[in-house]
Amino acid sequence: MTADSAIKICDNNHRYSRKMIMMKIFGDSMMMSRRDAMRIGGFALSATVTLPQLAGLAQAATPSIPLADLMRPGPLNDLWLGPETAKCTIIEYASLTCSHCAQFHTETWPKLKEEYVDKGLVRFTLRDFPLDPLATAGSMLARADNGVRYYPVSNLLFEHQRDWAFVDKPLDALQVMMRQAGFSQAKFEATLKDQSLYEAINTAKDRAYKTFKVDSTPFFFINGAPLPGALSFADLEKIIKPIIGS
């Protein structure tokens, strides 16, 4: 599938079937169970995180996936916030069309950044895990020019998600939204036709799914330990404080 064909799907038929989305995202040859498809497609995203889960994660001596493996560069550059010396490393996989991800980035992320990332206590990166072609388009725009506007654009799209992701003509709405980030029409169109960027995003997503078992969004790794589901700021503090010794 090419970048052009993905964008045509977004423009002409935003209400595509879940089966089609799965095939377009992961490739026609990839077979998944119905339950897996539902989880990835958004029907079982962001399960409630229980306190025992939080406590177990905070106290875990050995992460499920070695942090070194998670940190190994993939086809996309990680855009880190916070110092390498931070005791706590958080990797988030998110989709720009996921409402739970938008909730995290509008309610939890600002506090996490202010209280822990900006103070050098936590190192954080956001990785793209688009759940549909429209989310892929958003990720491509955020990643334009090697991601120089990655976090401002991602935050903008999360904050105004309902204004572009759930409307009759989402691609038109997305173009209007991107004007706020300084995208001309020519820049917008050129970015969405960047086949190498499109392939890099999908390769990174495939790696996350196959290697790291990411199957929903948002999906976090905290010092290598996996924690799927939406997290409140209070949830995160229960995990972070024991790690940093606070």
For 119, other C-beta atoms within 10 Å of its C-beta total: 12
- Could you give the count of Cα atoms lying within 13 Å of 126 in the half-sphere of its Cβ? 26
Q: Between β-strands 219-222 and 225-228, what pairing exists: parallel, antiparallel or unpaired?
A: antiparallel
* pLDDT for 10 beyond 80: no
Chain centre to alpha carbon of residue 229: 12
Q: Check whether 19 has a pLDDT greater than 80.
A: no
Residue 24 is predicted with a pLDDT of 42
Which neighbouring-strand residues pair with 91?
Answer: 125, 221
pTM exceeds 0.85 for this model: no
pLDDT at residue 64, as a whole number:
75
pLDDT tens track for 125-142: 999 999 999 999 999 999
Q: Which domains does the chain have, with CATH numbers?
A: 3-244 (3.40.30.10)
Distance CA 105, CA 110 (A): 7
Quote the tokens at residue 61: 């001596």
Residue-wise pLDDT for 196-214, tens only, equals 999 999 999 999 999 999 9
Give the SS3 label for residue 219.
Answer: strand
SS3 78: coil
Bridge partners (DSSP) listed for residue 128: 94
Kindly report, residue by residue over 68-127, the tens digit of the pLDDT. 899 988 899 999 999 999 999 999 999 999 999 999 999 999 999 999 999 999 999 999
